[in-house]
Structure 1
């Protein structure tokens, strides 16, 4: 090897070591950054030896796509589970002690006791108090349910705003990647930022990616709607501030196409938006229909000759025929106990025994219990409920109210199991992706030690060449 060739080799080695050390140092500095993909300096053979030709970014397209899918599924499932848990808390939590079914069972038991002792005023007062508890439970649960729908609507509005922001930012980095790839410049930092935005977007709405010329990405929703193609598509939503049982929320539109709501306890929703739509437009309204059907059943059970008796429909036209099997939206919000039997409102609790609108106890007998026995029998008599309530259409009112709790618990249980499964899958997917892309401090420090030895070898080569040149000059005189 000539002295000139030796010097060129040493010079190339110094350059390579410097570039490789810079890459290793950057990796170490970003070891704790979950959005950073490890870099590696790629060497190629040249006339003067090896040389760094590019800085390569660790990536795995298949694992990235699977990770995006897992994120969207997990986000949608967790959003649904959160809403179902909130609905459970409306009923008192683990034991459902605030549910209408709990108060109905208590009303039935004390009504039977009153029927056995119809002359006890205190028992009449107890039954009326139980009835007030039932009505209050239906009222408060219905109001809380509509509040939850309004909160879901507000969350949708916030998520849509955030999604539009993320898509706009995605365009910025996608343009950098596309233009840099075409120009042959380093686009690794832009790729890191673009992948981070992808994960944020997928938690809001499920996305699939298509790679095009110059590493350009096009984004589509899980159902095929264009989300981003060179420029972001408009995501629009008009929020609704106040919800009642008769109010329907507005659609979410992506490029003019409605977003579809998720279905089932193990929801099909990919991302938080479809899950929020499921809660607002399907889960909560179904539960509302169940509460309204319980209210309709109660008013019918205690009616007197077609008129409202113990329970009245405050704000709902008395002329409405509640004997027809159909949901009356919002009935559970307005059902009340007839003030004619509430002592604190100037009423008389014993009218429950004698008749509120029609006098059944015409002789004023203290032992008269026919009307009370009819009420207790009604608790055991099957009736028909509307199919919109999504539980058994025929059964007693107690069975129906218990079935409502069972329906909620079944959905929440399915959502809990699915959430555990989807989060576990997400954890494994993220781990697999990080094994490919994340920085290992041990590996980087080991590489730095190797580079140090390479630097020392190059330095020795330069020192040897220097000594040979010095000896040559001295010999030449």
Structure 2
């Protein structure tokens, strides 16, 4: 080897070692970054026999696609569970201590106590207070359900805006990747950014991707709609009446996004879960609450005691009333919003003995709705009848999803069972999907992420390479000095 070639070799080693060191330093600086793929310095020899260094980005397309899919599943499941927990909070959380069912049990117990001491005004007032708790529980639960629907409406709008922003950013970075690779430049940073955006998009809507020869990426939704192809497709809110406010559904490339179904939801991404909450679970819970309220009004109705018994039905509201109507609700049919309007008849505040005697609907000229017509202090007929009515099956609207016939007490209990079954299924599925996404992210990180131990080991190797190059230059320097000394 000539001295000139030795110097050239040393310079090349210095140059390549410097580039490798920069790459290793960059890797070390990004240890723990979920959106960074390890850079690899690949050495090669060109057609002229000259060594060169090429930066290669670690990647595993199959693992990445599985990770993206698991992110969608987990995001949808987590958002559904959060919504179910919000609804559960309307009933006091675990064990449902403030549910209508719990308060109805306490109220029935108060009625039984009152029936045992029908002349006690104190016990009568206690029973009235328990009845008010039942109505308040229904009002509160209805309010929370309305809040869940309002929250999801707002969040759907925010998610659509966010998704469009992600797609716009993806379009720009996708062009950057294509351009840099076409010009032989290192596109690693742009590819990291593109993968990060894909993960963010997957958190909102389920996606699948296809890679073209130029590294151009096409994105489809899990339903098959085109989300991105060369340019971003428009994601828009479409109102029920054709307007965009309030939002009724989301369209992607003119295809409606479908909501998820079930406690172990089919929703991929938060949008589908939000629609499941807003358009399925919350309305169904509201229907059940409305039916409980209607069942209470029916159970505590009054009938005209002066006419033949076969002509007395359907009667008129007694203890429980609809604050916006004096009529009995339609039998076996959901009265929309009734749970938010139900209250106890104000007349019972002044005269709690109306609960024992009846007469909420008496007028100044008529006492037709009095059951205790002889004003007997020990009268229990009306109280016994009310207790019996709470345990008597009646017709409920089957579209509320918990049966068509039940006692009002049983129906309220079934409603709690319905939401609890959904919540338990969602909790179990959330744990499974959360574990899956964590495992997939860890596996992907093991394949494409940075290992500090490996990078530090490589840094030591590069240090040895640098020392060897320095030694070579030192040797050449000494040889040149010896040669010059000989010439002198």
How would you bin the TM-score normalised by the shorter chain?
A: over 0.9
Output one character per residue of 1:363-421: Cα deviation in whole Å (capped at 9) or x when no partner. 22223222222111112211222122211322211111111111111111111111111
Residue 296 of structure 2 corresponds to: 298
Confirm or deny: 8 A CA contact 2:329 2:335 kept in the other structure. no
SS in 2 for 1:252: strand
Distance 1:173 1:249, change over 3 A: closer
Tell me what 2:259 maps to.
261
Tell me the alpha carbon deviations over residues 121-170 of structure 1, each in whole angstroms, 9 at most, x when there is no partner.
Answer: 22222222211111111111101110111011111111111111111111
Alpha-carbon deviation of 1:457? 1.8
- Which of 339, 344, 349 pairs up with 1:337? 344
Residue pairs, 1:371-390, within 5 angstroms: 371-390=382-401
Distance in 1 (CA, whole Å) between partners of 2:46 and 2:238 is 62
Residues 73-105 of structure 1 show CA distances to partners (whole Å, capped at 9, x for unaligned) of 111111111111111111111231111001111
Contact conserved, 1:43 with 1:50, CA < 8 A, in 2? no
The answer for the alignment partner of 2:425 in structure 1 is: 414
- Aligned-pair CA distance for 1:47: 7.2
1:180 matched residue in structure 2 = 180
1:24-173 aligned within 5 A? 24-46=24-46, 51-173=51-173
1:250 match: secondary structure = strand
Which one of 354, 359, 366 corresponds to residue 357 of structure 2? 354
Pick aligned residue for 1:307 from 316, 320, 335: 316
1:272 & 1:332 partners in 2: Cα distance? Answer: 29
SS of 1:213's partner is coil
2:447 corresponds, among 436, 449, 470, to 436
Q: How far is the alpha carbon of 1:473 from its aligned partner?
A: 5.2
Aligned residue pairs: how many? 465
Q: State the match for 1:399 in structure 2.
A: 410
Q: Quote the residue 1:236 is aligned against.
A: 236
Tell me, in whole angstroms, the C-alpha distance in 2 between the residues paired with 1:470 and 1:360.
Answer: 126
> Tell me, what secondary structure is at the counterpart of 1:41?
strand
> How far apart are 1:360 and its partner, in Å?
2.3
C-alpha distance after superposition, 1:199-247 (max 9, x if no partner)? 111111111111113111111111111111111111112689xxxxxx9
Q: Secondary structure at the match of 1:228?
A: strand
Any idea what SS the aligned residue of 2:59 has? coil
1:249 Cα shift? Answer: 5.2
TM-score by length of structure 1 reads 0.92
Q: Show CA shifts across 1:442-468 (max 9, x none).
A: 222221221122122223333333444
Instruction: State the distance in 2 between where 1:32 and 1:369 align.
Output: 74
Cα separation, partners in 2 of 1:47 and 1:350, compared to 1, 3 Å: closer
1:321 deviates by 4.6
The 3-state SS of whatever aligns with 2:248 is coil
Match of 2:472 in 1: 461
Offset, 1:469: 4.4
Cα distance in structure 2, aligned partners of 1:103 and 1:473: 106
d(CA) in 2 for partners of 1:3, 1:48: 20
Contact 1:316-1:331 at 8 Å conserved across structures: no
- Residues 184, 441 of structure 1: alpha-carbon distance in 2 compared, 3 angstrom cutoff: same
- Report whether the alignment pairs 1:322 with 2:330: yes
Provide structure 1 residue ranges, at least 5 long, that are not aligned to the other structure: 241-246
Per-residue deviation, 1:188: 0.6
RMSD of aligned C-alpha atoms? 2.1
Return closer, same or farther for 1:472/1:48 CA change in 2, 3 Å cut-off: farther
In the aligned structure 2, how far is the partner of 1:49 from the partner of 1:42? 16
Aligned to 2:311: none
- Any idea what the Cα deviations from partners look like across 1:225-274, whole Å, max 9, x if unmatched? 1111111111112689xxxxxx9851112122211111111111111111
Q: Partner of 2:458 in structure 1?
A: 447
User: In structure 1, how many angstroms separate the alpha carbons of the residues matched to 2:435 and 2:426?
Assistant: 14
- Structure 2 CA distance, aligned partners of 1:416 and 1:423? 10
Task: Tell me what 1:367 maps to.
Answer: 378
